[in-house]
Structure 1
Amino acid sequence: MNITHGLRRALQVNPNGLAIVCGERRRNWREVGERVTRLASAIRGLGAEDGDRVAILSLNSDRYLELYLAAGWAGTVIVPLNIRWSQLENEDALRDCRAGILFVDKAFAPVGTALATAIPGLKLVYADDGETPAGMADYEALVAQSDPIPDAMRKPDDLAGIFYTGGTTGRSKGVMLSHGNLMANALNALGEGLWPGSAVYLHAAPMFHLANGAAMYSILLSGGSNVVIQGFTPDGVAAAVQKERITDVLLVPTMIQMFVDHPALPSYDLSSLRRIAYGASPISDAVLMRAMKALPNVEFTQAYGMTELSPIATILHWKEHIGDGRAKGRHRAAGRATLGCEVKIVDANDKVVPTGTVGEIAVRGDVVMMGYWERPEETARAIIDGWMHTGDGGYMDADGFVYVVDRVKDMIISGGENVYSAEVENALAQHPAVAQCAVIGIPSERWGEQVHAVVVLKSGATAAPEELIEFCKTLIAGYKCPRSVDITATALPLSGAGKILKRELRRPYWENRDRRVS
């Protein structure tokens, strides 16, 4: 199977079924199939060959969904770029994967032009309404002018996409996912009852992010209906649910909190909404309780995983959020191994630890990534004997429920986005007043965790926290920058080997909590 399998099936069994809604545009699967085959032809016409990388930097749209399919149909590899990254970060990703074509919408057309100036030979395609900027090909013109081509019929072990995640050493890594990886995850989710063919799914989470991709690939495989909004707002989600009778949506916990706390929520008809999947970061008990009260007819399901796992490893079903499951505290778990996955908890020597003992969560299955793009050493450290080592600390109970309690690797999850401390520290260290710094995650009611920096200044130097935060914003994406900074006159605590003891810095913020992630 490959990622275009679902489209081929929909064209055969449900060609007149509703495929995509975006604003006032509504298309059935026959119309989408025609556009995808022509767009794939256009991609080849722009010079892309088998395995070449095709990138996109855009807000959510129906064209984004078409490109996911067309890239596979053309035999190329899609590279969704992070809309929250700085231009320099996305330039680094484009250079790293050597993408030859970049699709942009109106919001990112100026960035696209700057990227094409910085990267000679990069071809731009304008994938939006309105006048096409100079130096760009027009998406709709390419579709209209190109003749349909047959599906390239990529094999399961062929590369389908490169999804960039933060780098533990300060530079992003490209996670290589095959057609087989993505289809295995889609089938696993469908087997668990998520996102069936009858679903009307709302793309509200960013489409570059594989959290939304987990649902998207399942919907594309099952032939359900896709409704797309440009991006998340509480009113935007509520209005779409009311107008299009949405049944399913995936939201990160921060979005759920903003949605259920929205004062205008009771004015919308949300009666069609049946299921909310949440993931990318843990949800607090308080937010979950408010959500269940505000949406009493909605079933909540947690999906835990990571990009490197295509992305789902465990599922916590609705029944564990209520009744006997809740009484046993299982609503605080990340769930049990999903269909097609195995999970174990290991110690520092990669030995399985006893039930209830905290260790590192490791996962095996057809969802484990092919590796990191052109980084074999980092791949070898992450995947050992077929097991992906997640970097999350947790334990498993006697019934196979996994509880995430800490992080082994130095990562913060803020608002559903991964932030690697090294990236932020590398930025802070470039400020002329900074002698030493450490970046940690501390609890945040709104973001789950927030990025916090502890800084020692050089002798005689001065710098205010606000100045250091603004300095970081010139180098890295805003969501990675510290939201708070402590400037201390004392040296940071060090281990015998001279490594900063971040657990000592984190301890005051996480005391009296049953887990050290949020």
Structure 2
Amino acid sequence: MYGLTGMINAAARGRPTAPSTLFGGRSRTWAESRARVARLAAGLRTLGAGPGDRVAILALNSDRYTEFLSAVWWAGAVVVPMNIRWTAAESAFSLRDSGTRVLFVDRAFAGLAAEAAVACPALEHLVWCDDGDPPQGLLSYEDLVSAHQPAPDAQAGGEDLAGLYYTGGTTGFPKGVQVPHRALWYNNLLCAKLLEVEPDHVVLHAAPMFHMADSCLGGAGSIMGAAHAYVPRFDPEAVMAAIEAQSVTHTVMVPTMIAMLLQHPAFATERLGTLRVVGYGGSSISRGVLAEALTKLPHVRFVQVYGQTEMAPVVTSLSAADHVLDGPRAGRLAAAGRVVPGCDVRIVDEAGADVGPGEVGEIVARGPGMMQGYWNLPELTAATIRDGWVHTGDGGYRDADGFIFIVDRLKDMIVTGGENVFSAEVESAISTHPAVAQVAVIGIPSDQWGEAVHAIVVPRTGLAPSVAEVMAHCEPAAGQLQAPPQRDHPHEASAPVRRRQDPQTRPARPLLGRA
């Protein structure tokens, strides 16, 4: 029965004097971190947080965030990482729904936490996890550490609940994904391999630490005994400065962050000279952003991971070897990669039957990373986990070589004039225009077509591409889209499984809606 505290125990025994966390002028070793974690866990137990109890955190990235996670698991309790972009109402909902008794909060969110706490009668304690004296009514993180002797490790593991990770839903409020130790342990080992993390590396928390994208990197770093570095929140200049100051080797970002970094006025390839691997995921990435990244950072290996919180999170990965712009592998740049070891994936139609290569259906997955279900939502759990498979809600297809291509969220597919249009493909085509910095494609109502394809374009600084220029650019770009191996069946809007057409054989259709 593998528990997540095994990571810090192994690192403290095997690399006691090696750096574990680097932040704000503080540097701690793995031995020091384990001692602090055991003391903080003892403090949590005096607050009534024991096995199965929920302990939440609403804070920016820091070394204390990493300690918090291990301390909660050391106490046998359950972490509830809260989205820093939530409103007070959403925060209050997650606290009430999870039954959280203790909330850790920093300076950035103290006001929001106080507002949310009013609506949460079960919330007993707020802990200040920032520098300086805590505001009135809040307990001190550092006092909890210094005032207690180390607690014994509760040694939770296996199917014991490790975290409630709240993710967005269709109801307007988040839903809690129950993730056991087993799922995170598996993903930590997996991500260490996929992201090529070694003990002497330095991983940078640039994505928000509540997010599963960052969990991939953080878990990989901890299980390998690597050092953790941090920026409180994503800022391109802060990221570049941290990479320079801490000799960072690895980081994980969502595609928007990569684009912002590359297009920042102060960007310089040499500032990222120590960087070896960048993992990315969380949303689709355009070919334009990838091409710019591979050109500006030729010494960096890029690795894509696709998945979702319900799989904790990795399902497929596109290796660094497949991140090439030319040659026989260039077409794979549009893929989400191959299924990762230990995971199994099928592409199914609405009846749950497997579809053939090149046919679009729903991606379903199973493996050691599977969630236990949604907290307090048995009907949604039953609808999502069917016959042992997690239904992702993502549409995709598999090519003859086993690569998975994501086309869109099934509910976001645009049906225009009876033809299915996948927003990710249009976004990728537009993104290669040299004047386009970022783009999002949505469907909007149309009297003529039912839905029209509408693009929202953010131009690069100093440039102003016209609608006509963007549309003209997309005609040849469309011909370069990765096509499935079978192309002889046209789309049928009423069919539960839809085959992607060769773009050159599609009927004429207005590509973009005008702003």
TM-score exceeds 0.5:
yes
- 1:47: Cα distance to partner? 1.0
Residue in 2 aligned with 1:449? 440
Change (3 A) 1:99 1:325: farther
Q: Deviations over 1:178-222 (max 9, x none)?
A: 000001111222333533333210001000101100111111111
Q: CA RMSD in A?
A: 2.5
Change (3 A) 1:235 1:165: same
Q: Which residue among 179, 182, 200 is the counterpart of 2:181? A: 179
Which deviates further from its counterpart, 441-450 or 272-281? 441-450
Say if 2:59 and 2:84, in contact at 8 Å, map to a contact too.
Answer: yes
Describe the SS at the equivalent of 2:243. Answer: helix
- The correspondence of residues 4-19 of structure 1 with structure 2, limited to 5 A, is 4-19=5-20
2:397 and 2:255 map into 1 onto residues whose CA distance is 22
Q: Deviations over 1:263-316 (max 9, x none)?
A: 211285321111111101111111111111111100111000011110010010
- 1:69: Cα distance to partner? 0.5
2:373 and 2:413 map into 1 onto residues whose CA distance is 19
Q: Deviations over 1:346-371 (max 9, x none)?
A: 00011110111110011110111111
Q: Which residue among 216, 219, 244 is the counterpart of 2:221? A: 219
Q: Are 1:26 and 2:3 an aligned pair?
A: no
Amino acid aligned to 2:85: R
Say if 1:332 and 1:403, in contact at 8 Å, map to a contact too.
Answer: yes
Say if 1:320 and 1:331, in contact at 8 Å, map to a contact too.
Answer: yes
Say if 1:394 and 1:406, in contact at 8 Å, map to a contact too.
Answer: yes
Q: Are 1:237 and 2:239 an aligned pair?
A: yes
- 1:447: Cα distance to partner? 5.9
Q: Are 1:120 and 2:138 an aligned pair?
A: no
Amino acid aligned to 1:34: A
Change (3 A) 1:394 1:85: same
Q: Which residue among 389, 394, 397 is the counterpart of 1:395? A: 397
- 1:328: Cα distance to partner? 4.6
Q: Are 1:65 and 2:66 an aligned pair?
A: yes
- 1:10: Cα distance to partner? 0.7
Say if 1:320 and 1:326, in contact at 8 Å, map to a contact too.
Answer: no
Say if 1:188 and 1:340, in contact at 8 Å, map to a contact too.
Answer: no
Residue in 1 aligned with 2:201? 199
Describe the SS at the equivalent of 1:265. Answer: coil
Describe the SS at the equivalent of 2:271. Answer: coil
Say if 2:42 and 2:150, in contact at 8 Å, map to a contact too.
Answer: yes
2:265 and 2:438 map into 1 onto residues whose CA distance is 19
Percent identical among aligned pairs is: 45
- The correspondence of residues 103-118 of structure 1 with structure 2, limited to 5 A, is 103-118=104-119
- 1:150: Cα distance to partner? 1.0
Change (3 A) 1:115 1:258: same
- 1:325: Cα distance to partner? 6.5
1:453 and 1:26 map into 2 onto residues whose CA distance is 52
Describe the SS at the equivalent of 2:264. Answer: coil
Which deviates further from its counterpart, 324-333 or 181-190? 324-333
Describe the SS at the equivalent of 1:269. Answer: helix
TM-score (norm 1): 0.80
1:334 and 1:27 map into 2 onto residues whose CA distance is 37
1:65 and 1:447 map into 2 onto residues whose CA distance is 32
Residue in 1 aligned with 2:191? 189
Say if 2:322 and 2:333, in contact at 8 Å, map to a contact too.
Answer: yes
- The correspondence of residues 428-443 of structure 1 with structure 2, limited to 5 A, is none
Residue in 2 aligned with 1:44? 45
Say if 1:2 and 1:183, in contact at 8 Å, map to a contact too.
Answer: yes
1:325 and 1:375 map into 2 onto residues whose CA distance is 48
- 1:393: Cα distance to partner? 0.3
Residue in 1 aligned with 2:349? 347
Q: Which residue among 244, 253, 256 is the counterpart of 1:254? A: 256
Change (3 A) 1:39 1:343: same
Say if 2:187 and 2:312, in contact at 8 Å, map to a contact too.
Answer: yes
1:358 and 1:410 map into 2 onto residues whose CA distance is 14
Say if 1:199 and 1:247, in contact at 8 Å, map to a contact too.
Answer: yes
Amino acid aligned to 1:151: D
How many aligned residue pairs are there? 437
- The correspondence of residues 431-510 of structure 1 with structure 2, limited to 5 A, is 449=440
Amino acid aligned to 1:51: G
1:242 and 1:230 map into 2 onto residues whose CA distance is 16
- 1:155: Cα distance to partner? 2.3
Describe the SS at the equivalent of 2:172. Answer: coil
Amino acid aligned to 1:62: D
Say if 1:283 and 1:448, in contact at 8 Å, map to a contact too.
Answer: no
Say if 1:63 and 1:127, in contact at 8 Å, map to a contact too.
Answer: yes
- 1:96: Cα distance to partner? 0.5
Say if 2:317 and 2:336, in contact at 8 Å, map to a contact too.
Answer: yes
Describe the SS at the equivalent of 1:44. Answer: helix
1:174 and 1:358 map into 2 onto residues whose CA distance is 29
Change (3 A) 1:65 1:447: farther
Say if 1:319 and 1:325, in contact at 8 Å, map to a contact too.
Answer: no
Q: Deviations over 1:140-178 (max 9, x none)?
A: 011100111111000210000001001122221101100
Residue in 1 aligned with 2:230? 228
Say if 2:195 and 2:279, in contact at 8 Å, map to a contact too.
Answer: no
- 1:448: Cα distance to partner? 5.3
1:260 and 1:326 map into 2 onto residues whose CA distance is 27
- The correspondence of residues 71-150 of structure 1 with structure 2, limited to 5 A, is 71-122=72-123, 123-150=125-152
Amino acid aligned to 1:322: V
TM-score (norm 2): 0.80
Change (3 A) 1:304 1:102: same
- 1:452: Cα distance to partner? 7.8
1:274 and 1:191 map into 2 onto residues whose CA distance is 14
Describe the SS at the equivalent of 1:329. Answer: helix
Amino acid aligned to 2:99: R
Change (3 A) 1:339 1:85: same
After superposing on structure 2, the runs of 4+ consecutive aligned residues of structure 1 that deviate more than 3 Å are 191-194, 323-328, 409-412, 440-456, 510-513
Q: Are 1:284 and 2:289 an aligned pair?
A: no
Describe the SS at the equivalent of 2:157. Answer: coil
Say if 2:314 and 2:340, in contact at 8 Å, map to a contact too.
Answer: yes
Change (3 A) 1:385 1:199: farther
Higher relative contact order (CA 8 A, sep 6+): 1
Change (3 A) 1:149 1:329: same
Q: Deviations over 1:102-131 (max 9, x none)?
A: 000011111122222222242100000112
Change (3 A) 1:136 1:262: same
